[in-house]
């Protein structure tokens, strides 16, 4: 079937919750995708920062095939060896002592919100201590609690009344954050680098100041690393760039090489507030996805992908900056590792569509920021080809 034939079938039966492009990916390998018409694309979106190992990494494929032939699912009423192995890997490479597994970033953030409220209520013997401060332009998910936590009106529109107990303040503004703390506050929840908000990078002073505020007021620091974790920035977790550790951290997207998974990690003292019956997830951490995640984490650590993300990120950043100096509508290039945004003075939607026509998958966030999140395995030749295509689009815009 062709792309168009699939689009016509989709329009009849799929809800319009996404603004889908008329592209039907049917095969992927590394940084490349092929659609139903046989057209090849360079993928600089990587499933929105999911395919950090590229498409169909052999170790992840083998782990999924072997596990699918052995045991796909069993209940969390029983012990799951692959889940235990994954938790050991994540805890041994982070601040955390315990893990909870679920199916997505939104579910992981939902769990973090619940854990923060329950821990704070118990520790301070105060049921009124439930408030969570998040940042303007943040994005934490599409469930009602995570929509309420998200600091973007366009995500919340039409869904009020929102969940009570969330306050939003300007990102990277320590004074505003400090002023928002009240006796009801139990936690501060932030992305170390904002993704959907436009690739916004806070200062070292801000992030360290947030940690100090949490310590001074006995608040929990929740870091949402759903998009920026798992090597995306050149370190396994983005908060490592700022020399701080959270009390709770959430991961998802790239954790299982494309299989759907989410996790919430926490210190022992905090995690102890979750006891049998307080939270759960039927499919969370089942043998299939955790086998894929174990293979993914090992590949990131053993194949030198953290160093590669740093090196290729510097190269891509430099090439984008050089390109930007030649076009007046490019305002700024910003990012860490392979999480890079190019801020424009014009809407970026048409640039994305022209990229599709020329064989590169791009993305725009916050309407005017081109987001570049290719696989950590991207090559210099693939970066050069993407830059050539992007420059040809920029020349057409200025013509």
Is residue 118 among the annotated active site residues?
no
Give CA separation, 384 vs 69, 220, 288, 341, 389, in Å. Answer: 41, 43, 37, 17, 9
**Active-site residue, from 35, 100, 253, 372:** 253
Per DSSP bridges, beta strands 131-135 and 166-169 are parallel
CA atoms within 13 A on the CB side of 264: 28
Residue 105 CB coordination number (10 Å): 26
Is residue 367 among the annotated active site residues?
no
- CB distance 53 to 60 below 8 Å: yes
**Active-site residue, from 44, 100, 139, 171:** 139
Is residue 139 among the annotated active site residues?
yes
**Active-site residue, from 95, 224, 242, 274:** 224
- CB distance 378 to 389 below 8 Å: no
Torsion angle of C-alpha atoms 203, 99, 162, 143, degrees rounded to 10: 110
16 by Cβ neighbours in 10 Å (0-12 / 13-18 / 19+) ranks as: exposed
Give CA separation, 172 vs 22, 70, 138, 339, in Å. Answer: 38, 48, 11, 18
Of all helices (H) and strands (E), which one includes residue 67?
Answer: helix 58-68
Compute the distance between CA of residue 259 and CA of residue 280 in angstroms, rounded to an integer: 19
Q: Which residues are catalytic?
A: 139, 224, 253
């Amino acid at each position: 079937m062709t792309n168009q034939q699939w689009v016509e079938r989709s329009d009849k039966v799929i809800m319009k919750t996404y603004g889908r492009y008329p592209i039907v990916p049917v095969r992927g390998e590394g940084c490349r995708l092929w659609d139903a018409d046989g057209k090849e694309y360079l993928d600089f979106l990587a499933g929105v920062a999911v395919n950090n190992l590229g498409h169909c990494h052999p170790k992840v494929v083998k782990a999924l095939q072997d596990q699918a032939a052995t045991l796909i699912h069993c209940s969390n009423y029983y012990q799951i060896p692959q889940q235990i192995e994954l938790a050991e890997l994540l805890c041994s490479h982070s601040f955390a002592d315990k893990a909870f597994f679920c199916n997505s970033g939104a579910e992981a953030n939902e769990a973090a919100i619940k854990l923060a409220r329950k821990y704070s209520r118990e520790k301070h013997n105060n049921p009124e201590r439930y408030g969570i401060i998040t940042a303007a332009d943040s994005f934490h998910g599409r469930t009602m609690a995570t929509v309420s936590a998200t600091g973007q009106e366009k995500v919340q529109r039409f869904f009020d009344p929102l969940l009570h107990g969330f306050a939003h303040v300007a990102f990277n503004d320590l004074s505003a954050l400090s002023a928002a703390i009240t006796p009801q506050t139990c936690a501060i929840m932030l992305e170390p680098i904002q993704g959907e908000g436009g690739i916004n990078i806070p200062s070292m002073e801000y992030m360290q100041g947030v940690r100090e505020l949490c310590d001074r007021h006995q608040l929990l620091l929740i870091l949402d690393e759903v998009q920026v974790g798992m090597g995306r920035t050149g370190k396994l977790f983005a908060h490592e760039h700022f020399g701080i550790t959270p009390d709770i951290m959430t991961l998802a997207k790239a954790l299982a090489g494309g299989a759907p998974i989410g996790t919430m990690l926490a210190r022992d003292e905090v995690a102890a507030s979750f006891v049998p019956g307080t939270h759960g997830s039927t499919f969370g951490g089942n043998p299939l996805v955790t086998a894929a995640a174990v293979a993914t984490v090992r590949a990131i650590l053993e194949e030198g992908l953290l160093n590669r993300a740093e090196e290729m990120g510097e190269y891509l950043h430099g090439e984008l900056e050089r390109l930007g100096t030649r076009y007046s509508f490019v305002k700024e290039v910003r990012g860490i590792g392979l999480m890079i945004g190019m801020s424009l003075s014009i809407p970026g939607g048409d640039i994305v569509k022209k990229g599709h026509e020329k064989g590169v998958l791009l993305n725009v966030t916050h309407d005017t920021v081109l987001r570049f999140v290719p696989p950590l395995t991207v090559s210099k030749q693939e970066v050069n080809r993407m830059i050539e295509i992007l420059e040809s689009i920029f020349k057409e815009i200025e013509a």
